[in-house]
Every structure is written in C-alpha cells, then in structure tokens.
Structure 1
Amino acid sequence: MNGMTKKIGLNSFWLKMIAITTMLIDHVGAVLLPQYPILRIIGRIAFPIFCFLLVEGFMHTHDVIRYMTRIGLFALISEIPFDLLFYGRILDGTHQNVFFTLFIGLVMLYYLTKRYPAVLNFLMVILFMLFAEFLRTDYSSMGLLLILCFWAFREKKVWMCLSVAAVNILLMGYIQAFAVLALPFILLYNGEQGPKMKYVFYLFYPLHLLVLLGIGLLIY
C-alpha cells in the first residue's frame, strides 16, 4: 500500500513536461500570437515550476558544482537564440535568458547552506538580487525571491504557497499573478524522479527559441 501511495501524483519528469509546455505556449504568445493574452497567462505556470525543480535538484544532487556548471553553460548557450528571437540581435544587453536567473539562484542557495551568520546570509541575498537586477535576467530579483521561498519553506507547504503567491500577486502583480496556477501542480509532486532525460529538457530551451525564430522569419 505504501508503494502505491508513493506513486500518486506527479514526478519530476511530468513537472518538467508541464513547465516546458507552458513555457512554449508563453513564447508562442509573446512572439507569434501576441493578440491572444490567454497564451501569456498559461505561460505564467512555467517559471514557478522551474524554480521548484531547481531547489529539488539542489537538495538532491550529488555534485552541486557540476549542477551549477551545467546550468551556467546552458545560460551561455541559450543567450544568442534568446536575443535573436526577442530582440533581433545576436547579442543584446537589454535582457538575459531565464537560465541566468536559475544559475544565480543556484549559486545563492549554495552559499546559504554554508551556515554563515543570519546577517551575512541576508546581505548575500540582497547582493545576489542586485546582481540579477544589474544583469537584467528574466524575472531578475523577484525570480531569486521565488527560488528562496521554495527553498526556505520546502518542508512547510502552506507557507511555501502563501509566500510564492505573495511574491507573484503583491510584488510582481498584473499577469504574473496567474503564476499561482503552478501551485496545484507543485503540490502534486510525489518526490519521484521519473524517466531521466535531463539533457533533453536543457536542450529544449535554446532549440525551441531557434524554432520559433525560424517560424517567425517565415511568417513575417
């Protein structure tokens, strides 16, 4: 009975599938079909799930340095497709892709687990948030705050939901308030990994940007 109960819900694989699917819908709405805001609303589901899975990965990885390196590498790989799709230039400093936000968040978590004094941890969080704002990463400081909420309240689901909702509704607002739609999926997480296809999910990000770029060039 316990084995059957454990399998109820969504494993990591299906959470990733939901995240990349809603992200794709979001980017289709942003680039190809901006006249349909419902696509952007659906897309708000993606980022909180990515943040949650980042924290899960951090807590369970056997090699956090390799994990950080992998995220950082895909941040660099994805930047040119990101800039070409959204800004029409090979490199543009206006905005950096979401992998940079996840990378900075991962480094932040790495140092927060070093058991430094609380005051120093607070100052580090502020510095990381300022750095994200300086780089103009996707979601910037609010993205790091979401990662922090998932990490700090990972054992307290009610507080996790309340804090994530507060960040999205009160601090980010407008369309980002719909990010709370990600919470039911996250609460269904059963702690299991599912099929191991991590590089498929990593590669999906830059590849889907290039595909959308190609479609956009053909249409417009």
Structure 2
Amino acid sequence: MNMNTSFRKLCNSNYLKLIAIIAMTIDHGTDLLFPGFPTEPVPLILHFIGRLTAPIMWFFVCEGYHYTKDVKKYMLRLGIFAAISHFAYCFGFGISLNPLVGGIFNRTSVMYPLFIAVVVLYIEDHMNNWKQWQKKLVQTILILSCFPADWSCIAVLSILAMYSERGNLEKQIIKMIGWVFVYGVVSYLFVSKTYAIELIGVLMVYPVLKLYNGERGKAKWMKWFFYIYYPLHLIIIGIIRVLVYGNVNICL
C-alpha cells in the first residue's frame, strides 16, 4: 500500500470533522485572547486557520442530510443542538440571550443556521402537498430568521448551494465562495474590514475536503463528541472570559 492510498484512507468524515473542531477551537480561543479582530499578525493568522471550520460544517450537513435514515430525527437533533448552543454561545462571548437585544450580528451560534438549512431542504424535498409559492415563502422567512446568527443567512444559502452540487466538490466550493464573497462585502462595509479579509481563509477548505474518501469512519462516538464539544468549549471560554475580563461582551 503506497503512502498516498494510506493517507487518503485516513481522511474519512471523522478526521475532517476533527480538523474543523481544532480550527474552531483556535478561532474561538483567538476571540478570547485578542477580542475585536485586531490587525496584528498572530490573531490574523489564527483567525485565518479558523475560517476552515464553517465550510467543513456546511459540507457535512449536506452529507448528513443526504445519508440520514431518518431526516426528522436529524432535524430534531440539530434543533436541540442549536438551542443548547445558543445559551453556550451567548455565555461564551458575553452576549444577551435575547437575540433582539444589542447589535444585529452574531446574536446566536452558527448551529441555528445549520438547523434551518436542514429544515429548508426538508420542506423542498418532502412537503409535496404544499404549493411552490408556499414553500418559497416559508423557506425565505426561515432563511431571513438566520440574519442575526453567526455567519448570518449566508450559512444557510451556502449549504443549499453546496447541496445542489453534491458529488461535485469543485462546483460546491465555487458556489460556496460566491456566497462567502457576498458575506465578505457586507462585513467589510458594516462590521469589520479585518474580519472580511480573514474570510479568504475559507479557500483552504478545498484541499482539505479534496482528501475526503466518502467514508464515515469507525469511531461512531465522534458524532456525539462534536455535539458535546461545541457547547462545552464555549462554556469554558465563557468562564475564562468572566475571570479575565469580567462579564463583558468580547464579540463583534
């Protein structure tokens, strides 16, 4: 067995999700150590690495929706996960639990858009008794509800675009980049120029996902590890935030 074949066999979904978890931890840890997206080289590089996380998540939401044996259970699991993660995210970064209080961005975690993306896909594929205009109306409202979340509506739109090209990684990445570009322009104009520039890091996801061999991996516990790790690491960040800075908001 040559080295290339051996390496590719290691790159199942578990390994790629582990890369996402590591990148996410680096990204959120940088938010804690360097609040407000400063322009210094170290936080720039660390956030650049962190941009790997979201597109890997989006990719595997597409895979999860496609392969799940029970889409309703999958939706329920993501919905519960999004609710728990909201409290952890707000505590982690010192944000009000009420998404309508404070700024209009980053009021809840990216897990809410992941959940909504699956609901939107479910409506499209399974609500056959609905008229097309009814589907589009409800889907639009659901997508807009993600506006205050981390990655905003772009997370849902990226997942929908990637799912439409499932099986063709190059087209998935091109469509995803298109939506991230829109997000970058909005971020540059209204949020943070530094944050917008750091979004270039999503380009790193292509060579990473190119290693995916289509297998889930033997460690089935990895699925639950991610569900537990996401809110847990945010709670730890929140505890450190309070101890170091006091109960202040360190998010954009």
| TM-score calculated relative to the size of structure 2 | 0.77
CA distance change for structure 1 residues 124 and 186 in 2, over 3 Å: closer, same or farther?
Answer: farther
What displacement does 1:155 show?
Answer: 2.3
Structure 1 residues 18, 209: CA separation in 2 closer, same or farther (over 3 Å shift)?
A: same
Residue 16 of structure 2 corresponds to 15
- 1:188 is aligned to 2:211: yes
Q: 2:132 and 2:98 mapped to 1: Cα distance? A: 37
> Which residue number in structure 1 is paired with residue 192 of structure 2?
none
Aligned length: 215
1:94-173 paired onto structure 2 within 5 Å: 94=101, 95-114=107-126, 122-133=136-147, 136-173=148-185
Question: Residue type of the partner of 2:29?
Answer: V
Deviations 1:108-134 (A, max 9, x none): 11112238577665555433321222x
Correspondence for 2:53: 46
| Residue identity matched to 2:143 | M
Q: TM-score, normalised by structure 1?
A: 0.87
Change (3 A) 1:129 1:30: same
Displacement of 1:28 in angstroms is: 0.7
| 2:94–2:238 Cα contact (<8 Å) kept | no
Query: For the residues of structure 1 that align with 2:181 and 2:224, how far apart are their CA atoms?
Result: 32
Cα separation, 1, equivalents of 2:56 and 2:227: 14
Question: For residues 97 and 106 of structure 1, what CA distance do their matches in structure 2 show?
Answer: 16
SS in structure 1 at match of 2:46: helix
Give yes or no for contact 1:81–1:206 (8 Å, CA) kept in 2. Answer: yes
How many angstroms apart in 2 are the aligned matches of 1:119 and 1:45?
Answer: 35
Helix, strand or coil: the match of 1:8? helix
Rounded Cα–Cα distance in structure 2 between residues aligned with 1:155 and 1:80: 35
**Partner of 2:68 in structure 1?**
61
Which residue number corresponds to residue 239 of structure 2? 214
Partners of 2:169 and 2:82 lie apart in 1 by 30
C-alpha contact (below 8 Å) 2:92/2:236 kept by paired residues = no
Q: Is the 8 A contact 1:149 1:160 kept in 2?
A: yes
User: Could you list the runs of 5+ residues in structure 2 that have no partner in the other structure?
Assistant: 102-106, 186-195, 246-252
Offset from partner CA, 1:64-86 (integer Å, 9 cap, x none): 11111111111111222211121
**Inter-CA distance 126–216: structure 2 relative to 1 (3 Å threshold):** same
Partner of 2:28: 27
- Residue 132 of structure 1 aligns to a residue whose secondary structure is coil
| CA spacing shift, 1:88–1:124, aligned 2, 3 Å | closer
Structure 1 residues 64 and 177, CA, compared in 2 at 3 Å: closer, same or farther? same
Gaps of 5+ in 1: none
Contact in 1 for aligned 2:58/2:158 (Cα 8 Å): yes
RMSD: 2.4
> How far apart, in 2, do the equivalents of 1:121 and 1:88 lie?
33
